[in-house]
């Protein structure tokens, strides 16, 4: 979570966008990332947006530019791009997540201005076409949320060697206890993994997703209550959850 995006068409320039985190704020996020007990409570992305308080008009202009960009996509003659975008922004999909309590909404811009006193940003949703589905990705780079997020640790994932090492440990453990078993390796999928992990309510002002509503030719807004796809913070938080689950399973396996 160390990258920052350059503005695209429809965005305000660097002088008008929310400024990056100040050194004390970066240090705060570094300390939070190093201490699992403080996450997610202390990993508050919104604390880096204090400069936005004096740029309410500029944030409004940025949101208007993003709306126009999405309208241009919706009216595009490129059918593949248009269909992917509109499918990803399908209101029924968002409504399903709202019923599952993973999204809160829908809201209008006026609703969110009142709730957050004009101090909020939204991330537009786009569709990533895959072989069997169109995955819904929220662009937290263009909204600069990813650029304002810092992680002070390296994410290390398990490899095939880790699985083989575990298998060897189990084999040695069984041999010492006089047990003779056959072993089988397989993998499983944690369905809707990110979406099962809640986020801190203090981050709701930067956890807004804008979804184009074709019938209204306008955006409707939802607030994420769980980790969104497209967020660098989601990668860190879910990796910790996954590694914790694996550690528990390995512990019980080796008893």
Question: What is the spatial distance between Cα 206 and Cα 43, in angstroms, rounded to a whole number?
Answer: 13
- 123 Rama class: left (phi>0) / alpha (psi -120 to 50) / beta: beta
Query: Is 50 exceeded by the pLDDT of residue 98?
Result: yes
Question: What is the spatial distance between Cα 199 and Cα 40, in angstroms, rounded to a whole number?
Answer: 7
Give domain status of residue 18, yes or no. Answer: no
Query: Is the whole-model pTM more than 0.85?
Result: no
Give domain status of residue 3, yes or no. Answer: no
A 10 A CB-CB count for 184 gives 6
DSSP category for residue 120 = -
Give domain status of residue 241, yes or no. Answer: yes
Tokens of 70: 């999405």
Q: Check which CATH number belongs to the domain holding 153 and give it.
A: 3.10.10.10
Give domain status of residue 242, yes or no. Answer: yes
Give domain status of residue 126, yes or no. Answer: yes
Give the CA radius of gyration of the chain.
Answer: 21
Query: Is 60 exceeded by the pLDDT of residue 215?
Result: yes
**Domain range spanning residue 239?**
23-253
Query: Is 90 exceeded by the pLDDT of residue 127?
Result: no
Q: How many domains does the chain have?
A: 1
Q: Which of 61-65, 87-91, 166-170, 214-218 has the lowest mean pLDDT?
A: 87-91
Query: Is 50 exceeded by the pLDDT of residue 16?
Result: no
Q: Among 119, 127, 81, which residue's Cα sits nearest to residue 208?
A: 119
Of 80 and 221, more confident? 221
Cis omega (within 30 of 0) on the bond before 26?
A: no
Express each pLDDT in 131-176 by its tens digit.
777 677 888 988 889 988 888 888 888 888 888 888 888 889 888 9
Give domain status of residue 6, yes or no. Answer: no
Instruction: Give phi and psi for 226, each to the nearest 5.
Output: -135, 170
Give domain status of residue 10, yes or no. Answer: no
Q: What pLDDT, on a 0 to 100 scale, did the predictor assign at position 225?
A: 96
Q: How far is CA 206 from CA 17, 83, 119, in A?
A: 14, 27, 9
| Residue 255 pLDDT class (50, 70, 90 cuts) | low
Q: What pLDDT, on a 0 to 100 scale, did the predictor assign at position 41?
A: 38
Give domain status of residue 67, yes or no. Answer: yes
Query: Is 50 exceeded by the pLDDT of residue 40?
Result: no
Stretch 98-110: mean pLDDT, rounded? 92
Q: Which of 26-35, 68-77, 108-117 has the lowest mean pLDDT?
A: 26-35
Q: What pLDDT, on a 0 to 100 scale, did the predictor assign at position 203?
A: 93
Question: What is the spatial distance between Cα 83 and Cα 92, in angstroms, rounded to a whole number?
Answer: 15
Mean pLDDT of the chain: 73
Tokens of 92: 């029924």
Q: Contact 62/17 with Cβ under 8 angstroms? A: yes
């Amino acid at each position: 979570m160390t990258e920052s995006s350059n503005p695209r068409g429809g965005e305000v320039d660097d002088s008008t966008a929310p400024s990056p985190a100040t050194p004390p704020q970066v240090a705060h996020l570094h300390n939070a990332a190093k201490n699992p007990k403080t996450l997610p409570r202390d990993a508050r992305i919104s604390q880096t947006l204090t400069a936005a308080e004096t740029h309410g008009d500029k944030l409004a202009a940025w949101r208007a530019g993003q709306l126009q960009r999405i309208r241009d996509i919706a009216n595009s003659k490129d059918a593949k791009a248009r269909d992917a975008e509109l499918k990803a922004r399908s209101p029924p999909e968002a409504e399903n997540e709202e019923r599952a309590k993973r999204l809160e909404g829908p809201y209008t811009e006026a609703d969110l201005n009142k709730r957050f006193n004009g101090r909020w940003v939204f991330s537009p949703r786009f569709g990533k076409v895959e072989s069997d589905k169109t995955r819904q990705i929220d662009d937290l780079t263009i909204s600069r949320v990813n650029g304002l997020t810092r992680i002070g640790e390296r994410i290390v994932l398990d490899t095939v060697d880790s699985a083989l090492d575990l298998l060897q440990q189990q084999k040695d453990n069984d041999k010492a206890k006089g047990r003779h078993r056959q072993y089988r390796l397989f993998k499983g999928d944690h369905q809707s993994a990110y979406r099962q992990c809640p986020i801190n309510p203090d981050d709701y002002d930067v956890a807004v997703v804008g979804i184009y509503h074709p019938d209204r030719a306008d955006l409707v807004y939802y607030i994420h209550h769980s980790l969104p796809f497209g967020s660098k913070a989601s990668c860190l938080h879910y990796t910790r959850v996954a590694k914790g689950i694996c550690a528990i399973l390995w512990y019980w396996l080796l008893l």
